Chains A and B, each alone.
Chain A
Amino acid sequence: MAPQSMLILSALLFAIGVFGVLWNRGAITILMCVELMLNAANLAFITFARQFDQADGQIYVFFIMTLAAAEAAVGLAIVIALFRLRESTDVDELNLLKW
């Protein structure tokens, strides 16, 4: 199990997450896809930490997890507030801020 295979897996997961963000219109699904991307990055970090035998990568992952928790909390709160207003979580409905 080489580091490269881990990194390639991470890249694939990241790309899947990216596609999910671009393809889905539900705010929650988009949030989940962002989490997916974050996790792909985490995987890469952990791989590097292992590869270079330094705990820093793991610390970064720790921080990213905290960040993800904060992001999920605020993001979901926004979704709830939006749902109250619009009865929908469709991000394409929210296109008032345009030319």
Chain B
Amino acid sequence: MATLETVAFVLLATLAVVSALMVVFHRSPVISALSLAFNLVSIAGFYLFLNAQFIALLQVIVYAGAIMVLVLFVIMLLSITTEQGLHRSGRVQRVAAPLLSAACAGVLVFAVARGSEGEAFVVSSADFGTVRQVGLELFSTYFYAFEAISLLLVVAMIGAVLLAKKRL
């Protein structure tokens, strides 16, 4: 069955990379945002591959369903037409940005290549990545982190309201 999986992987990976490139290069921010949403959903597909069903569903609900809708809303609200190009950032940026990005990819790939990850995944337990297992972990080991992040959300919410509201 490896071949079917490989085909699926290559397909999804291609979609992910292409949509990511669309995010960066498309002139229209709306298309960029939609591409990003697509990219996020395709990454959720990878999560399913990797036995992370709960996270995959969360990814769709939170990222695609909420965050990206919000982004789209703002883009449409502000009627932004184009966000491309360098403008004032100048000549150095024009040369250095592609070079350094390529270097970034190079270093990361180099790191992966040097890494000691095996050729195949280890066999995981049956309930790996289920809601129950992730939830148990979340509310035991990471309980305080969970509470802290909820606080972060409250702060972010208040901050967003304060920033965006015309008059309080």
* Chain A residue with Cβ nearest B155: A70
As a 0/1 sequence over residues 121 to 136 of chain B, the CB contacts with chain A under 8 angstroms (1 = contact) are 1101100110001100
Task: Kindly list chain A residues whose C-beta atoms are within 8 Å of the C-beta of B166.
Answer: 84
Task: Kindly list chain B residues whose C-beta atoms are within 8 Å of the C-beta of A1.
Answer: 2, 5-6, 9, 49, 121
Task: Kindly list chain A residues whose C-beta atoms are within 8 Å of the C-beta of B88.
Answer: 92-93, 95
Closest chain-A Cβ to B116's Cβ sits at a distance in Å of 10
Q: Say what secondary structure dominates the interface of chain B.
A: helix
Closest chain-B Cβ to A43's Cβ sits at a distance in Å of 6
Task: Kindly list chain A residues whose C-beta atoms are within 8 Å of the C-beta of B87.
Answer: 25, 90, 92-93
Closest chain-A Cβ to B152's Cβ sits at a distance in Å of 6
By a beta-carbon cutoff of 8 Å, the part of chain B in contact with chain A is: 2, 5-6, 9, 13, 16-17, 20-21, 23-24, 29, 32-33, 36, 39-40, 43, 46-47, 49-52, 54-55, 58-59, 62-63, 66-67, 70-71, 74-75, 77-78, 80, 82-89, 93, 96-98, 100-102, 104-105, 108-109, 111-113, 115, 117-122, 124-125, 128-129, 133-134, 137-138, 141-142, 145, 149, 152-153, 155-157, 159-164, 166
A-B contact pairs, 21 of them (CB 8 A): A4-B112, A5-B13, A13-B17, A16-B24, A23-B97, A25-B85, A25-B89, A26-B84, A32-B33, A33-B23, A50-B50, A51-B122, A58-B54, A58-B55, A70-B153, A72-B71, A74-B156, A80-B164, A90-B83, A92-B86, A92-B88
